[in-house]
Chains A and B, each alone.
Chain A
Amino acid sequence: MIEDELLKWRFKRSSKDALQRIYEKYLDYLLTLAMALLHNASEAEDIVHDVFVKFAESSADFKLTGNLKSYLTTCVLNCARDKLRANQRQSTRPESIDSEINGPDHMIISTEESLRLNHAMAQIPDQQREVIALRLKGKMKFREIAKLQGVSVNTIQGRYRYGLNKLRSILNGEVEK
Chain B
Amino acid sequence: MKSKDNLEEAIQKNLNFSASTELHDRMLNDVLNAQEQSRKKQSAASRPNIRRIIMRSPVTKLAAAAVIFLAAGIGIYTLTQSDEVHFPEVVPPPAVLAGPLTYTFQDGSIVNLADGATIETSSEESTRGFRHISGAIEVTVAKGQGDFIVTTPYGDVKALGTKFTMELVDGTDTNTQEEIKLLAVEVEEGSVRVSNTKGSSIVEASRKLIVEPDQKPYDYYQDENLPARLRERIQLMLEALTAGDSAAWMANYNIDYMYKLIKGQVEYDPNLFGGSKADAERLQKMGGDISSPQELLERFIAMGGIKKASGEIYVRSVTLNENGNHAVARCIEYAGENHIIGHNPQWHFFDNDWWQIDD
Question: Which residues of A come within 8 Å of B, CB atoms?
Answer: 1-2, 5-6, 9-10, 14, 16-17, 19-20, 23, 27-28, 31-32, 35-36, 44-45, 48-49, 52-60, 105-111, 113-114, 117-118, 121, 132, 136-137, 141, 143, 164-165, 167-168, 171-172, 175
Contact = CB atoms under 8 A, between A and B. Distances in A.
A80 to B, nearest CB: 14
Contacts of A44: 17
Contacts of B96: 5-6, 9
A6 B98 contact: yes
A136 B8 CA distance: 7
Interface string B120-158: 100000000000011100000000000000000000000
Interface string B9-48: 0111011111110111001101110111111001000000
Nearest to B177: A141
Given A36-B15, A114-B15, 12 more contacts: A5-B134, A9-B78, A9-B95, A10-B78, A14-B39, A16-B32, A16-B35, A23-B28, A32-B18, A110-B16, A110-B17, A137-B11
A113 B14 contact: yes
A9 B121 CA distance: 12
Given A60-B38, A168-B4, A137 B78 contact: no
B335 interface: no
Given A5-B118, A59-B38, A117 B10 contact: yes
Contact of B17 (A53, A108, A171): A108
A117 B11 contact: yes
Contacts of B20: 105-109
Nearest to A160: B8
Given A23-B28, A45-B23, A108-B19, A53 B34 contact: yes
B31 A175 contact: no
B1 interface: yes
Nearest to A118: B15
B15 A117 contact: yes
Given A35-B17, A108-B23, A109-B18, A19 B11 contact: no
A164 B35 contact: no
Contact of A132 (B11, B22, B24, B135): B11
15 contacts: A2-B116, A2-B118, A5-B118, A14-B39, A20-B32, A23-B28, A52-B27, A52-B31, A55-B31, A57-B37, A108-B18, A117-B10, A137-B15, A168-B4, A175-B1
Nearest to B3: A168
Given A14-B35, A57-B35, A111 B14 contact: yes
A12 to B, nearest CB: 10
B62 interface: no
A57 B23 contact: no
Contacts of B79: 17
A28 B16 contact: yes
Given A106-B20, A175-B1, A48 B27 contact: yes
Interface string B47-85: 000000000000000000000000000000011010000
Nearest to B42: A60
Interface of B: 1, 4, 7-8, 10-12, 14-20, 22-24, 27-28, 30-32, 34-39, 42, 78-79, 81, 95-96, 98, 116, 118, 120, 133-135, 179
B98 A168 contact: no
Contacts of A5: 96, 98, 118, 133-134
Given A49-B30, A56-B31, A108-B20, A171 B1 contact: yes
Contacts of A110: 16-18
Nearest to B9: A136
Contacts of B14: 111, 113-114, 117
B31 A23 contact: yes
Contacts of A171: 1, 7
B7 A168 contact: yes
A31 B18 contact: yes
Contacts of B10: 113, 117
A60 to B, nearest CB: 5
A167 B7 contact: yes
Contact of A107 (B12, B22, B30, B95): B22
B40 to A, nearest CB: 10
A6 B31 contact: no
